[in-house]
Chains A and B, each alone.
Chain A
Amino acid sequence: DVKVTQSSRYLVKRTGEKVFLECVQDMDHENMFWYRQDPGLGLRLIYFSYDVKMKEKGDIPEGYSVSREKKERFSLILESASTNQTSMYLCASSDTSGYTFGSGTRLTVV
């Protein structure tokens, strides 16, 4: 069964911490994405990658960076976590057959 795995379901971090959110897919997909979901705002694209070591900014990249050293892994980095980054973070990968999402990481920044 096709899978996108996000390493943590729930995470609590302190303001100013550097936070790593990990995502691994086992489908050999070229494309990977990071979204955040907030009530009333839907899913907003943070960053995406079409290939290893390649990254593109989405709609809301400020305060985030990403790393794609291997095809199967796409990491989202919060350089200095802030309370307004408290959110549900969703990773996805895609190919011609469509998108597959991970289960999400609920991040709370205190």
Chain B
Amino acid sequence: QKEVEQNSGPLSVPEGAIASLNCTYSDRGSQSFFWYRQYSGKSPELIMSIYSNGDKEDGRFTAQLNKASQYVSLLIRDSQPSDSATYLCAGTNTDKLIFGTGTRLQVFP
């Protein structure tokens, strides 16, 4: 059983729309969660971290965490073509980050 699961996509949204990316995890002991963005051929770039239940907003990005449902999400408002990338969800497993396989987002003009 995968520890962090994401829909591989691609998720296609029009420019200006809200993109919703989802992630579930199996380890109830996971405390911290992160969203990374990875452009093709590049390294992962940290977008958001979230540690407690509820919402956390940063600019156009909102991360949501529900530990009871073991569910993490990332909303991207006013999506731009430059947001087209793979979004990686990660959760802590004792002393390391475990990543999902990523969701590919395509924002079309």
Same assembly: no
